[in-house]
A and B are shown apart, each in its own frame.
Chain A
Amino acid sequence: MLLKTTSLSFAYPGQPPISFPDFSLSGGEALLLLGKSGTGKTTYLNLLAGLLTPSLGQVILDGVVLSALQGHRLDLFRGQHIGIVFQKPHLIAALTVKQNLELAQFLSKKKGPSPTDLLQDFGIASKASAAVGTLSEGEAQRVSIARALVNTPKLILADEPTSSLDDEHAQRVIQLLKGEAVKIGAALVIVTHDQRVKSEVSQVLELKSE
């Protein structure tokens, strides 16, 4: 098992703790995380990313207990092994497309595939030295996926990656995520309530409010 969670729970200050169902994924597998608003989808994702520390339970990625890492070691582990795709692309506007990818490699201190090759695969090589502000929404989202993948992570987390895209681009983004996850043997977890995504991924974990 590449990714495994065991009896995770998390409590925001002054609120009752939320418990999360366990799951495990192998490399190349994909999982949809579904649920209504307020069921803690994003919290779960943050726990998986090590952005929040669970009050109980463990996230184990490739044999490493995430909650056992702290400070800079956790940041570095995240940068090297976890790629995160947000709802909005959130590229660094001061940099060009290619520099955004180079930045990810610099911060994770990891030599991944060349950013140029990756952009080529994603069909946006022509935009490599373009300013981020000149990209269309779909292009920007593809760049953000490329940035999440530039360090060949073991876990890809996507938070509503398609919600602001039209059908054609949404389809393309899902195919890219699925395809790349299989290609590099990474586990893929997608948080969504987008119907277009639901039909593409078979494994589903539904969160219910208590």
Chain B
Amino acid sequence: MNLLTLSWKYLRFRPLATGLNAILLAFGLAIITVLLLVQHQFEQKMTRDAAGIDLVVGAKGSPLQLILSSVYHIDFPTGNIKMEEAKRISRSRLVKQVIPLAMGDNAQGLRILGTNHDYLDLYGVKFAAGKAWEQPFEVTLGAESAKTLGLKLGDTFSGSHGISVGSHDHDQHSFRVTGILAPTGKVVDRLVLTSIESVWYTHDEESKTEPSTPIEGEEASAEIEEAPEQGIDPHLLPVAARGFPLTDQEREVTTLLVRYRNPMAAIQLPRMINSGTSMQAASPAFEMSRLFELLGVGISLLKGLALALVVIAGLSIFIALYNSLKERKYDLAVLRTLGASRLQLMILVFLEGISLTTLGAFLGISLGHGFLALVVLLTSQELVSLVDPWVLLPGELLIFGYALAVGIVASLIPAWSAYQTSIAKQLTKT
């Protein structure tokens, strides 16, 4: 028997009031937990995925959309750009590196991204099996993609047109898995990587075999008349591992990921592209901070709600402690006759408040994680599925801090009143 046990027994003695107060506090803290987790993980993932990308160049449209589609692979691309123009940018002295991307297909909702091996280096990937693509229609799967598709090395599959599920399939050519990446926790995990040539040829076949069907979207370009390649089928040639693919045709890519050569480029290059070409340039850092600013309003609102809940819980705990103390004045007097000091009674009341709020904190944090897990489980939205609900953050210690503060503040007056209780007066009053 000690004061902590005693305070706990008192809490257990009023299960309804204790439960209600703990749950009330837990709700407030759960919202804070969810906000903390979501905000932290988004910002972390967003920053990690955009590391090494100074600028994204693509077709004109919404700059945010351009970033979301090309860096995070969540939104639709803004369109395609001519490869000739893209090449011109890569030759600029302000540019250190350019990674071309070609999009437009998916495999069961996972995006097929045509690019070169620089993209793999950008994210510092390691291979769990196999190696990077070398021939057309060879693909490398991200760790999650491999799991979702259930494919192994050497397996074949066909993609479908568009970047979300439901469009018609490209049956003419099937992709063959030659590499599977180890998990990175970055966006590559959810991609199917291949060469730009593979993306082109998939759509070439389509144009040839179904000439009557107009090709929608970004690939609707003038690739129908394929020039004869001096008798050599380009499908049998190795693809370009670095830089742009070699071709003498008029081809398109979707976007370019650009790395600056020097800080000067940050000022000159975007302006040059935006005003001097038919393309647009967008900076991931800038667009993401703009997005977070927009989301900030909602986050502040939720934070306000959470704060209100925590304050109400604090008040409710205060009222519960104060009322139960009134009923217990006699108990307190008895404790004093048994040898308890005034200080011990005060500690007892504080312990009761703090145990209650600590319980609320545990409950709130579990509730927050559980809620997030449920949301992730129930949604197919890719943006949401980025969140790992079971990550524990150091910031969650702060939640215990909040809970402790609420417990202490709510107990202040009751504890003082316990300290003040006159035993003789209490005991004489029957």
Contacts and interface: CB of A to CB of B under 8 A. Distances in A.
Interface of A: 42, 46, 49, 51-52, 71-72, 75-76, 78-80, 82, 84, 86-88, 90, 92-95, 99, 102-109, 147, 151, 159
B339 interface: yes
B108 interface: no
A202 B37 CA distance: 76
A42 B12 contact: no
Contacts of A87: 430
26 contacts: A46-B427, A46-B428, A51-B427, A71-B342, A72-B342, A72-B343, A75-B336, A75-B340, A75-B341, A75-B342, A76-B341, A78-B336, A78-B337, A78-B339, A84-B337, A88-B430, A90-B334, A92-B334, A93-B13, A94-B6, A95-B6, A105-B1, A106-B2, A107-B344, A109-B339, A151-B339
Contact of A107 (B10, B12, B335): B335
Contacts of A78: 336-337, 339
B1 A94 contact: no
Contact of A108 (B331, B338, B343, B430): B338
Contacts of B10: 94
Range, interface on chain B: 20 to 34
Nearest to B9: A94
A42 B1 CA distance: 31
A80 B337 CA distance: 10
A104 B427 contact: no
A72 B9 CA distance: 24
Given A79-B338, A104-B338, A95 B9 contact: yes
Residue of B10, B330, B342, B427 most packed against chain A (CB within 10 A): B427
Contacts of B344: 107
Contacts of A90: 330-331, 334
Interface in B318-343: 330-331, 334-343
B339 A80 contact: yes
A72 B336 CA distance: 10
Interface of B: 1-2, 6, 9-10, 12-13, 330-331, 334-344, 423-424, 427-428, 430
Given A49-B337, A51-B423, A99-B1, 4 more contacts: A75-B342, A82-B337, A107-B335, A107-B338
Of all A-B residue pairs in the complex, the 7 with the closest CB atoms, nearest first, are A79-B339, A94-B13, A108-B339, A72-B341, A102-B1, A51-B424, A107-B339
A77 to B, nearest CB: 8
Contacts of B331: 90, 92-93
Contacts, number: 77
A52 B424 CA distance: 7
Contacts of B342: 71-72, 75
B328 to A, nearest CB: 9
A52 B428 CA distance: 11
A103 B6 contact: yes
A51 B338 contact: no
B376 to A, nearest CB: 41
Contacts of B343: 72
Nearest to A79: B339
Given A99-B1, A106-B1, A51 B12 contact: no
Contacts of A49: 337
A49 B333 CA distance: 13
Contacts of A95: 6, 9
Nearest to B13: A94
A49 B428 CA distance: 13
B109 to A, nearest CB: 57
Given A93-B13, A106-B2, A76 B339 contact: yes
Nearest to B5: A99
A95 B12 CA distance: 10
A147 to B, nearest CB: 8
B145 to A, nearest CB: 58
A88 B343 CA distance: 26
B9 A99 contact: yes
A85 to B, nearest CB: 10
Contacts of A147: 338
Contacts of A76: 339, 341
Given A94-B10, A95-B6, A102-B1, A107 B428 contact: no
Contacts of B1: 99, 102-103, 105-106
A75 B6 CA distance: 18
A94 B1 CA distance: 13
A92 B333 CA distance: 11
A109 B341 CA distance: 12
A96 B423 CA distance: 23
Contacts of B2: 106
A46 B424 contact: yes
B136 to A, nearest CB: 77
B397 to A, nearest CB: 31
Contacts of A86: 334, 427
Contacts of A94: 6, 9-10, 12-13
B427 to A, nearest CB: 7
Contacts of A80: 339
B10 to A, nearest CB: 5
B430 A79 contact: no
B348 to A, nearest CB: 10
Contacts of B430: 87-88
Max chain A Cβ within 10 angstroms of own Cβ: one of B6, B337, B339: B339
A151 B339 CA distance: 11
A22 B343 CA distance: 34
A99 to B, nearest CB: 6
A46 B430 CA distance: 14
A159 to B, nearest CB: 8
A71 B340 CA distance: 10
A94 B9 CA distance: 6
